[in-house]
Chains A and B, each alone.
Chain A
């Protein structure tokens, strides 16, 4: 597709269950980012990938959060043993990787609700 695609668009899960969120970046974009947006808040950086490696994981809130990227394309964000405070919109973005000339392009996000 032409843009960043995220799935599912909505996910409701019970506390304690694991969830996987998927991101398909724009074709040819080498950099991929995950952000979290809580209700009425700004975007909180989680992790970014350059190719398949993650130079910066500093934003992951706890060891229950992990992410991987394969083939320099699709990425999955996994949250284990979900908690209610994990409820938020998880946004993925991609860029060409030349940070100073290629801004981030965002998907529409996955809205996660933990009950």
Chain B
């Protein structure tokens, strides 16, 4: 079946540093989404990407939908302690409405 490979699996950075994570797939997706999950809560949508090549920002977050439609990256600039959490990429193919999730990137920020 379809799978998303998300990397890195975890990151431990200093406050103020920039962060980059990405997802790749052997399959084409029509939509890429990035979610953040805090402990004990459900994932919260950060950025949605709907067109190949699209580059979208949300505050300190920037994400891009790869031109091949098989990959996406998320950048966080000037990290702060509240950025701590698990970040998931998710892809949507066809018209099934079924999202495929990556394995997640656990981010820890040292003040």
Q: Are B42 and A50 in contact (CB under 8 A)?
A: no
Chain A interface, number of residues (Cβ within 8 angstroms): 28
Residues in A whose Cβ lies below 8 Å from that of B40 = 108
Report A72 CB to chain B, min CB distance, Å: 15
A42 to B103, CA, bound (A): 4
A93 to B92, CA, bound (A): 15
Q: Are A108 and B42 in contact (CB under 8 A)?
A: yes
A74 to B90, CA, bound (A): 25
Residues 87-111 of B contacting A (Cβ, < 8 Å):
88, 90, 92, 95-104
Residues 26-46 of B contacting A (Cβ, < 8 Å):
30-31, 33, 35, 40-45
Q: Are A104 and B45 in contact (CB under 8 A)?
A: yes
Residue of A nearest to B38 (CB): A108
Residue of A nearest to B106 (CB): A40
Q: Are B45 and A41 in contact (CB under 8 A)?
A: no
Q: Does B48 make an interface contact (CB < 8 A)?
A: yes
Q: Are A33 and B42 in contact (CB under 8 A)?
A: no
Q: Are B42 and A107 in contact (CB under 8 A)?
A: yes
Q: Are B98 and A45 in contact (CB under 8 A)?
A: yes
Residues in A whose Cβ lies below 8 Å from that of B95 = 99
A33 to B95, CA, bound (A): 14
Report B40 CB to chain A, min CB distance, Å: 7
Report A44 CB to chain B, min CB distance, Å: 8
Q: Does A95 make an interface contact (CB < 8 A)?
A: yes
Q: Are A104 and B50 in contact (CB under 8 A)?
A: no
Residue of A nearest to B92 (CB): A99
Residues in B whose Cβ lies below 8 Å from that of A104 = 33, 45, 99
A62-84 vs B: 1/0 string, CB under 8 Å? 00000000000000000000000
Residues in B whose Cβ lies below 8 Å from that of A55 = 96-97
A103 to B6, CA, bound (A): 20
Q: Are A106 and B97 in contact (CB under 8 A)?
A: no
B interface residues (Cβ-Cβ under 8 A, vs A): 6, 30-31, 33, 35, 40-45, 48, 50, 88, 90, 92, 95-104
A interface residues (Cβ-Cβ under 8 A, vs B): 4, 31, 33, 35, 41-45, 48, 50, 55-56, 59, 91, 93, 95, 97, 99-101, 103-109
